[in-house]
Structure 1
Amino acid sequence: MTASPTSPPDRSFRVVAPVIALCWLAVFFDGMDVNIYGATMPHLLADESLGFTPALAGTIGSWTTFGMLIGALAAGTLTDWLGRKPLVMGSVLLFSAGSALCAVASGATVFGAGRFLSGLGLGGLMPIGLAIVAEFAPPRRAALATGLMMTSYHAGGMAATGIGLAVAPGHGWRWVFWAGVLPALIAVPLVLKWLPESPGVLFGRGRTEQAYAVADRYRLERPGTRQAPRAGAKGRLESITALFAPGTRWATPLLWTASFAGLLLVYGVSTWLPELMRATGYSLSSSVTFLMVINAGGIVGMLIAGRTADRFGPVKVSALWFVLTAVGTFLLRAQLPLGAAYVVVFVTGIWLFSAQVMVYAATSRVYAPRERATGLGWVTGIGRTGAVVGPTLGGAVLAGGNAGLGFTTFAVTAVLGALAISLVPLAVNSRGDKVRGLTPATDRESSAPGVPPSRGGLPGHS
C-alpha cells in the first residue's frame, strides 16, 4: 500500500512495535540510571570517604537534574538538525560514561561531576524518545503508546532498586554504578542497527526517497513541508518562537508549569522516598523497598493512564492523577502499619508518575508535527527545573528533621500541577478555536494537509 500525504494508511502496534521496543529499551536504562542514586543513597551516606550529608546529597541530586535540564533543552532543539537516531545513541553513551565516573569517584566533587554528565544524557533521551513514539505510534493509540514506553522507566527504576538491594550490601555501592555502564554495551548497538530515522527529518534534509521509504515501511503519512522541521539555525529559532504563536502562546507556559510540578514530584520522591520513610519510622530495608513498590505502581499507572487518556483525553487524566497524587502523598505523613504503607505507596505510584507522562501526551497534541520535538524538549527541559528543586528541597526538609513537611510539600506541588494542566484547553481555546488535539483521539477526524481539522484535531497531527 502506497502512502500519500492526503490519506495516511492504517497503522497498528504490530508494524511499529520494533520502534517502540527500542525506545522502551533506551528509556529502561534511563530509568535505571536515574534511580540508582536513590537506591544507593543509604550506602552513599554511610561511606565516610565521600563525605556525604543529606544536604550535600540533595545538592548532587540537583546537579543531575540540572544536567537533565540542559540535555533536554539542547536535544529538543538539536534533534531536528542532527537527527533522532544519533542523539539517542549520544544520550545513552553520555549517561553510561557518567555512571562509570561515579563508580571510580574518590570524593563528592568527582561523584557530582559524574551525575551531572549522566544528567546531560538522561535529559536528552526522554524528549527524543517521546517524539519518536508520537511520530510512529497509531494516532488513536498515541497516549497508550506513550504510556507503554514510559513503563520502561519504572521497570528500570525497579531494576536499579533490585541491584541496589542485591549488590550494594555485600559488594559496595560502586558495583551498582558499574551496572550503569551496560546501556552503552547493549542499547547503542541495537539502536544503531534497527532504529529508523524520522521521515520528517529525512525530508527536511532533502533525502526525500529515504523519507518516503521509511514512511511506507512503517505505514506513516509521507512527509511534506508541514511535517518537515525547518532547516538551518534560523529554522531552529523559528521552531522555538512557534511555541508562542497564536493559539499556543498561553498553553506553553502552562505546560511548562505542569511539567515543573510533575518532575519535582518524580525526582523528589525517587531521590528521597527511602530516607523520608526511614525518618517516619520504618526500617532501612523496608524504606528501600518502598522505592521498588512505588515504581511498580508507576508501571500499572502508565497502562491505565494511556488507555484512559485515549478515551477521555490526556488533560483530564493528568489533572485527576495529580489530585490523587496529592491525596496519596499527604497520607504518607502518618506512620501507617507496614502493609498499609506499602498499599498507599503503590497506589500513589499509579498516579504520580503517569500524571507527568500525560503532560507529555498533551504536549504532543498541542504542537504541530514540525514543532513537536522542540515543544517536547522545552516542556521536559523547563520542567527539569522542578527536578532540580525536588532533590534539594527533600534534602533541606530532611536536614530539618521534618519528614511530614516533605510529604505536605509534595502534595501542594501536585495540586499546582493539576491546576496548570487543567487550564491548557482554555489557553488553546483563547481565540475561540476547538480543543486542538486535546480531545480523545477517537473523536478526532483526519484532515488533508492544509485543511484545518473539523473537530479539534491539531493541523497536521499524526
Structure 2
Amino acid sequence: MTAPVPAPASPPKRSFRAVAPVIALCWLAVFFDGMDVNIYGAVMPHLLDDPDLGFSAGTAGTVGSWTTFGMLIGALGAGTLTDWLGRKPLVTGSILLFSVGSALCAVAPDAFLFGAGRFLSGLGLGGLMPIGLAIVAEFAPPRRAALATGLMMTSYHAGGMAATGLGLAVAPDHGWRWVFWAGVLPAVVAVPLVLKWLPESPGVLFAKGRTEEAYAVADRFGFDRPVPAEAPEAGAKGRMAAIGALFAPGTRLATPLLWVASFAGLLLVYGVSTWLPELMRASGYSLSSSVTFLMVINAGGILGMLVAGRTADRFGAVKVSAIWFVLTAVGAWLLRAELPLGVAYVVVFITGVWLFSAQVMVYAATAKVYAPGERATGLGWVTGVGRTGAVVGPWLGGAVIAGGNAGLGFTTFAVTAVLGAVAITLVPLARRSRQRPVTDRQAAPAGATG
C-alpha cells in the first residue's frame, strides 16, 4: 500500500515561469489549429480556379460550413468528456483528427471528399479549443489568467499568418494540395510533445482516484490540492450533472447570453477568415493583395490578444469584450467603402485587433461564470453552441459573394458585432442572480475579473 503524500510545508507560488511549459504546449497546439482553419481561406481563390475540383462560390461556402459543423460537434463532445477522459487524451486525439482530415483534403479528387476531409478536420479543431482554454484557465496564475488566455490565442493568429504565407508561397507554383499536406505536420510535431510533457488536470486525476498524482501535479504548479467538492463527477451521471449545472439558478441566464455572444464572435471569426480575400477581391483589389489582407488581419489579431488580455485582467473581460465588439462593427462598416490600398491595410489591421480578441474575451468571461468542476463543460458548450455562428459565417459569406455584393457582407459582419456587444454586456446582470457566490479561490483560475 502506497503511503499518502504529505502536504507541502509551503506550496510554491504559481507563476508564469512555473506554468510556462504548459502554456507553451497549448500555444503550439492552437497554432496548428489556427493554421488548419485558415488554410482553407488562404487557398480559396485557387480552389475556385481549379476546374478539376468543381468548386463554385456556393459549394465553397457549404464546405466551409461542413468544417464548422464538425467543430460544433467536436467542441460539444470534447468539452463534455474532457473531465471524464482527461485533457491529454483528448488534446492528442483532436490533433490527430485534424491532421488526418488535412491529408484527406490533399488527396481529394472532388468536392465531396474534400468536404469530408474538412468535416473530419473540424471535429479535431473544435475539440481542441475548449480543452486548451480549460487547461490555461486552470494552470495560469490567478491574477493573470486573461492575459494567459490572450497569450495562448496569439498562436491561433500566428497559425493563420503561417497558413496565409503557405498559400502565397506554395499554392501559385505547386498547387493548393501541397498546402494541405503541411496540415499533417501537427501529428508529427505536436503529438509527441503533448504526450511527453503536458500534465493532466489535478481535478481530473483526483476524480479518477489517482490522488497521489493529483497532489503531485498540484504541488508542482502551486495549486491548492483538489478536494472532493471541486472534483468533476465521473461517469455518464457526472457528465449530465455538469451540463445541468449550466442552467442552475446562478447561471441559467448567463449561459444563453454567453452562447449568443459566442455565436456572434465565431460568425465573425470564421466568416472573415474564410471570405475576407474574396470580399476584398470583389471590392476591386488584386488577387495577391486580397490574400495578403488575411495575413494583415491575423497580425492585428496577435496584437489584439495581448492588449485585450492585459486590459481584461484590470477592467474585466465582459467590459473589454463588449467594447471590442463595438469597435469591430466600426471597422467592418468602414470596409464597405472603396478605400485606397494603404488605408485598407490599416483598417483591416486595426479591425483584426478588435475582432478576434472580442471572441476570446467571451471565453475569459465564461471561465469566471462557472465553478471549477463546471468550467470545462461550460467552455465546451459556449464554444460548441457558438459554432453555429461558425457554421453560418462561411455559408453566409458564400451567399453574399455569389450575389456579387461585398458591401452587404461587411454590413452583415458589422450588425453581428453589435449583437455580440449587446449579449456580452448583459452577462454581469445575469450573474447577479447567482445564488452560489464565486469565491476568490474559485474565481482565481477563471481568466477574468468583472
2: distance between equivalents of 1:59 and 1:142? 37
Gaps of 5+ in 1: 437-444, 448-456
**Does 2:449 align with 1:446?**
no
2: distance between equivalents of 1:10 and 1:212? 15
Give SS of 2:433's match: helix
- In the TM superposition, what is the alpha-carbon distance from 1:292 to its structure 2 partner? 0.1
2: distance between equivalents of 1:459 and 1:19? 17
Q: Which residue of 2 aligns with 1:454?
A: none
Q: Which residue of 2 aligns with 1:209?
A: 212
Give SS of 1:423's match: helix
**Does 2:242 align with 1:248?**
no
Q: Which residue of 1 aligns with 2:59?
A: 56
For 1:398-446, what per-residue CA distance to the aligned partner results, in whole angstroms no more than 9, with x for missing partners? 1111000000000000000000000000001135887x5xxxxxxxx73
Q: Which residue of 2 aligns with 1:36?
A: 39
Residue correspondence of structure 1 range 163-312 to structure 2 within 5 A: 163-312=166-315
* Alignment-mate amino acid for residue 334 of structure 1: A
For 1:332-385, what per-residue CA distance to the aligned partner results, in whole angstroms no more than 9, with x for missing partners? 001100000000000000000000000000000000000000000000000000
**Which residue, 399, 410, 433 being the options, matches 1:396?**
399
Q: Which residue of 2 aligns with 1:10?
A: 13
Q: Which residue of 2 aligns with 1:115?
A: 118
- In the TM superposition, what is the alpha-carbon distance from 1:228 to its structure 2 partner? 1.0
- In the TM superposition, what is the alpha-carbon distance from 1:27 to its structure 2 partner? 0.1
Is the contact made by 1:65 and 1:116 (CA closer than 8 Å) also made in structure 2?
yes
Give SS of 1:226's match: helix
2: distance between equivalents of 1:21 and 1:226? 30
Is the alpha carbon distance of 1:146 and 1:177 closer, same or farther for their aligned partners in structure 2, counting shifts above 3 Å? Answer: same
2: distance between equivalents of 1:225 and 1:242? 17
**Does 2:278 align with 1:314?**
no
Q: Which residue of 1 aligns with 2:97?
A: 94
- In the TM superposition, what is the alpha-carbon distance from 1:11 to its structure 2 partner? 1.1
**Does 2:351 align with 1:357?**
no
Is the alpha carbon distance of 1:299 and 1:161 closer, same or farther for their aligned partners in structure 2, counting shifts above 3 Å? Answer: same
Q: Which residue of 2 aligns with 1:23?
A: 26
- In the TM superposition, what is the alpha-carbon distance from 1:221 to its structure 2 partner? 1.5
**Does 2:82 align with 1:79?**
yes
**Does 2:333 align with 1:339?**
no
Is the alpha carbon distance of 1:134 and 1:7 closer, same or farther for their aligned partners in structure 2, counting shifts above 3 Å? Answer: farther
TM-score computed with the length of structure 1 as normaliser: 0.93
**Which residue, 366, 374, 379 being the options, matches 1:376?**
379
1: distance between equivalents of 2:8 and 2:126? 33
Is the alpha carbon distance of 1:459 and 1:288 closer, same or farther for their aligned partners in structure 2, counting shifts above 3 Å? Answer: closer
Give SS of 1:247's match: coil
- In the TM superposition, what is the alpha-carbon distance from 1:227 to its structure 2 partner? 2.3
Is the contact made by 1:64 and 1:115 (CA closer than 8 Å) also made in structure 2?
yes
Is the contact made by 2:71 and 2:123 (CA closer than 8 Å) also made in structure 1?
yes
For 1:59-116, what per-residue CA distance to the aligned partner results, in whole angstroms no more than 9, with x for missing partners? 0000000000000000001101110000000000000000000000000000000000
Gaps of 5+ in 2: none
2: distance between equivalents of 1:419 and 1:335? 29
Is the alpha carbon distance of 1:460 and 1:245 closer, same or farther for their aligned partners in structure 2, counting shifts above 3 Å? Answer: farther
Is the contact made by 2:67 and 2:120 (CA closer than 8 Å) also made in structure 1?
yes
2: distance between equivalents of 1:363 and 1:25? 23
1: distance between equivalents of 2:126 and 2:433? 32
2: distance between equivalents of 1:232 and 1:20? 28
* Alignment-mate amino acid for residue 278 of structure 1: R
Is the contact made by 2:269 and 2:356 (CA closer than 8 Å) also made in structure 1?
yes
Is the contact made by 2:138 and 2:445 (CA closer than 8 Å) also made in structure 1?
no
- In the TM superposition, what is the alpha-carbon distance from 1:5 to its structure 2 partner? 11
1: distance between equivalents of 2:327 and 2:54? 38
Is the contact made by 1:247 and 1:431 (CA closer than 8 Å) also made in structure 2?
yes
2: distance between equivalents of 1:356 and 1:87? 23
1: distance between equivalents of 2:8 and 2:246? 24
TM-score computed with the length of structure 2 as normaliser: 0.96
Is the alpha carbon distance of 1:431 and 1:67 closer, same or farther for their aligned partners in structure 2, counting shifts above 3 Å? Answer: closer
**Does 2:127 align with 1:124?**
yes
2: distance between equivalents of 1:21 and 1:316? 27
Structure 1 stretches of 4+ moved >3 Å: 2-9, 431-434, 457-462
Give SS of 1:106's match: coil
RMSD (Å), alpha carbons: 1.8
**Does 2:432 align with 1:429?**
yes
2: distance between equivalents of 1:328 and 1:7? 50
1: distance between equivalents of 2:10 and 2:279? 54
Give SS of 1:430's match: coil
* Alignment-mate amino acid for residue 196 of structure 1: P
Residue correspondence of structure 1 range 131-170 to structure 2 within 5 A: 131-170=134-173
1: distance between equivalents of 2:80 and 2:9? 28
**Does 2:389 align with 1:386?**
yes
Is the contact made by 2:58 and 2:399 (CA closer than 8 Å) also made in structure 1?
yes
1: distance between equivalents of 2:8 and 2:425? 33
Percent of aligned positions that are identical: 82
Is the alpha carbon distance of 1:7 and 1:236 closer, same or farther for their aligned partners in structure 2, counting shifts above 3 Å? Answer: farther
Give SS of 1:50's match: coil
1: distance between equivalents of 2:264 and 2:162? 25
- In the TM superposition, what is the alpha-carbon distance from 1:323 to its structure 2 partner? 0.1
